[in-house]
Structure 1
Amino acid sequence: MLTITAIIRARKGYEQAMSQALLEVAEHVRENEAATVGFFVSQDLSDPRVFTTYERFADQAAMDTHNGSPVVARFFGIAKPILDGEVTLVTSQEVSSKA
């Protein structure tokens, strides 16, 4: 299983816009990406400007399909002007999980 963890920080006052953009991606994944095994969006309790996604893919093709999708491109189009810093992406091979 391949995973991506993304840490995203929105500029102050843009928390709701970032949340909505991420939820649009999550909805698209739920409806259209069977090989995306999991797509989780979290918002930091102590700093609501910080969002984390945890994405699980059946294989490299599933990851490539997701990352190359129009919904991900749309997300970055919305997110880019409201980001506070760079998005941190960590791509990994899952070692263990509890399903």
Structure 2
Amino acid sequence: MITITAVITAKSGTEDVMRDALLAVAEHVEANEPETIGFFISQDSGDLRRFTTYERFADEAAMERHNSSDAVAKFFAAAKPILDGEVVLVNATELSAKSG
């Protein structure tokens, strides 16, 4: 399983815009990406400006399809002006997972 973890921090006052942009990607994934095995979004309870995504892909091709989708492009177009710093991305191979 191929994974991406992203840590995204929004500028103060733009948390709702960032949340909505991330949830739009999640809706796209649910409707259009069967090989995206999981797409999780979290909002930091201690700093509501910080979001984390954890994305699980069947393979590299599925990850590339996701990353090159219109939904991801729209997300970055909306997110770029409200980012507080760089997006931290970790691309990895999943070693273990507990489901259920």
Shorter chain as denominator, the TM-score bin is over 0.9
RMSD: 0.2
| Segments ≥4 residues shifted beyond 2 Å | none
Q: Please name the residue that 1:51 is paired with.
A: 51
Give identity over the alignment, percent.
Answer: 63
- In structure 2, the gaps of 5 or more residues are none
How far off is 1:63 after superposition?
0.1
SS of the residue corresponding to residue 8 of structure 2 reads strand
Q: Deviations over 1:11-41 (max 9, x none)?
A: 0000000000000000000000000000000
- In structure 1, the gaps of 5 or more residues are none
Tell me the TM-score normalized by structure 1. 1.00
Q: Please name the residue that 2:16 is paired with.
A: 16
Q: Please name the residue that 1:7 is paired with.
A: 7
Q: Please name the residue that 1:76 is paired with.
A: 76
Matched residue count: 99
Tell me the TM-score normalized by structure 2. 0.99
CA distance in structure 2 between the partners assigned to 1:57 and 1:49 by the alignment: 26
